[in-house]
Every structure is written in C-alpha cells, then in structure tokens.
Structure 1
Amino acid sequence: MAENENGAAAADAPQAPKMNVLAQFVRDMSFENILAQKGINGEVQPDVQVQVNLDAKKRATENQYEVVIKLKIDSKSKSGGEQLFLLELDYAGVFQIENVPEEQVHPFLLIECPRMIFPFVRRIVSDVTRDGGFPPLNLETIDFLALYRAEIQRRQAATAQGTA
C-alpha cells in the first residue's frame, strides 16, 4: 500500500460523488390568465393538474450536464370545467458532476439534480400565480425517485410490448 505525504496509507477507495450547480435559469415560461380574459365572475374552486417531465443532456464541456424540469400546470374550475389559468415552465440547471460511476450518471441526473433546483421552481410558480391574480400556488415536493422509477417501468413495458 502506498503512503501519502503525511505517512498515512492511501486507500484505493473511490472518491465521493461531487456535484456543483454552475448555473440555473428559466429557459421558457408562459402564463395565461384565461379567467381574466373570459371575464368569469364569482367564486371558483380550482382543480389544479401538474405534469412534470425531466430532460438531461451532456454538455460539450467535460463532466457538465444540463437538466431541465418541465412543468405544465393546468387549472380548471371544479364546477364547470372552465379553464382558469395555464402555466408552462422549463427551468434548467447546469451541473458539474464528478466521481459518479458511468452506470449511475443517468439516475443521478434525473433524481439528484432536479432535487437541487426544485425549490427555485416552486418559488417561481408561487410568484407567477400570485402576480397573475391568483392565490400563490405552492407546489408539493416532487418525489423525483418515484418519478424516475415510473419512467423506467414505462419504458420497460413499452419495450416489452414492442418485442412481443
């Protein structure tokens, strides 16, 4: 076993994964206040549907990746089904990732990276809905691990059906 400068034995153990958020930004956002456009009056009880998609890709710089949380938030009236508002948001983060084994990069990008930037997405959604004339919409925490597992199962099912 080799010794380092301090005389301690240098272990061949892998280094701990390292992640840095280099940048985060709104890539695309759209908010439509349909309630105000149509002039619907009276008290309405909203039914809010949230769709979440994730995208990740390698950047040209070594060990850098871009991860995007794509939200589509659709709010309709519970009573009549009229559209109240529609919010679409693509929020991206640029990450420097090191010491992650190749077979673990994909889940790391689609679970850990979105967890890091989600609080900022939540704040934007709250601010935009409030500034758009509605009570602030506070998103519940998204379980990115469950989302990842569901997508893997969906892909496996699609592959099984395609080969059957």
Structure 2
Amino acid sequence: MSDNATSQQNQPAFDILRLYSKDCSLETPNIPQIFSKEWKPEIKIDFEAKPLKLNDETYEVDLRVTATCKIGEDVAFICEVHQAGLFLIKNVDEATLDYLLSGVAPNILFPYAREHISTLVNKATFPPLTLRPINFEAMYRSRQQEAAAKSDVANGADSEQAPQA
C-alpha cells in the first residue's frame, strides 16, 4: 500500500450511513372532548440523544423528542418520536467523538423528528405544531463550559484549603 493510501486511511472521517425513524407515537387520551375546550395549550418539549457504539467505526444515535400538550389539566396529546441514524466515525479523539455524537448527530436528526411530530399532530386535526430549531452543538459547548467551570471551582476550593500542621 502506498504512503498516500495509508495516510488517507488514517484521516478523520464522519459520515451519515443511514437515517431512520425508530419509533413514532401519538396519544390523544381526551379526544373528542378536548376539541370543545378553548384552545390555550401548554406545550412541553423534552428531548434526549442516546449514542450507541455498534463497532469500532459505527455508532447509532437515537434522538427522542416528546411533545406534550395540555389544555388546563387535560392532556390533548403526547407525541413522541425516536429519530435515529447510523454514523461512521473514525480516527478521532474522544473529545471529538463525544462532540460528534452529542452535538453534530442530534443536529442532523432533529429536523426529521420535527417533521414527524408536525405531521402526526396535524393528522390528529390539532392546530399546527412547529417546533423551533434546537442547536445541539451550542448546547453541547455550553454543557462543556459549565463542567469546566465547576471543575475549576472544585480545584480552586481544594487549593485554597489551609495546610494542616
């Protein structure tokens, strides 16, 4: 094998192998009574990205997005989507791997999850629900900065303790 081919094999790589819906559900426990209520919804959005290592270079990221809509105390709908993807990631350090799995991959998956939620809610004849974009990369960086700040505070507290005689 030539040196050029060897150096290309050792280059960092990130690629989308496949994107797919893993699970989609819509629960409407109070239909049809909910339609007679004044539409003043309280909507709560929860999300979580779970990476799974499948082999040395292939990872699955499962992004779960749940939209819960209440009218007063009554649940109008609960819509949950698991949007997943297979990603090829190789020749990167642990910090970069974590960033790709926790920031980049969820950013790729979220528009698909948004579209599924919007479609499911629309098919149940509720008013349109369009989720705002979420920047998972910015959230990842923010969590890293918070962790670094907490670590600095903890290390500073340790160094400020008076030595014992």
Does TM, normalized by the shorter one, top 0.5? yes
Please state how far the C-alpha of 1:38 moved relative to its aligned partner: 3.9
**How many Å separate the matches in 2 of 1:130 and 1:71?**
17
RMSD: 2.9
Q: Which residue number in structure 2 is paired with residue 119 of structure 1? A: 111
| Larger displacement relative to structure 2 (45-54 or 35-44) | 35-44
Q: Which residue number in structure 2 is paired with residue 70 of structure 1? A: 64
Q: TM-score, normalised by structure 1?
A: 0.74
1:36 matched to 2:31:
yes
Query: For structure 2, which runs of at least 5 residues remain unmatched after alignment?
Result: 155-165
**How many Å separate the matches in 2 of 1:47 and 1:150?**
27
Please state how far the C-alpha of 1:149 moved relative to its aligned partner: 4.8
- Amino acid aligned to 2:120: V
Query: For structure 1, which runs of at least 5 residues remain unmatched after alignment?
Result: 5-10
1:110 matched to 2:102:
yes
- Amino acid aligned to 1:53: E
**How many Å separate the matches in 2 of 1:119 and 1:71?**
11
**More helix per residue:** 2
**How many Å separate the matches in 1 of 2:126 and 2:35?**
13
| Larger displacement relative to structure 2 (145-154 or 133-142) | 145-154
Q: Tell me, what secondary structure is at the counterpart of 1:36?
A: coil
Question: How many positions carry a matched residue from both structures?
Answer: 146
Checking the alignment, whether the CA contact within 8 Å between 2:65 and 2:82 is kept in structure 1 is yes
Q: Which residue number in structure 2 is paired with residue 51 of structure 1? A: 46
Please state how far the C-alpha of 1:43 moved relative to its aligned partner: 3.0
Q: TM-score, normalised by structure 2?
A: 0.74
- Amino acid aligned to 2:13: K
- Amino acid aligned to 1:97: I
> Percentage identity across aligned positions?
29
Checking the alignment, whether the CA contact within 8 Å between 2:70 and 2:76 is kept in structure 1 is yes
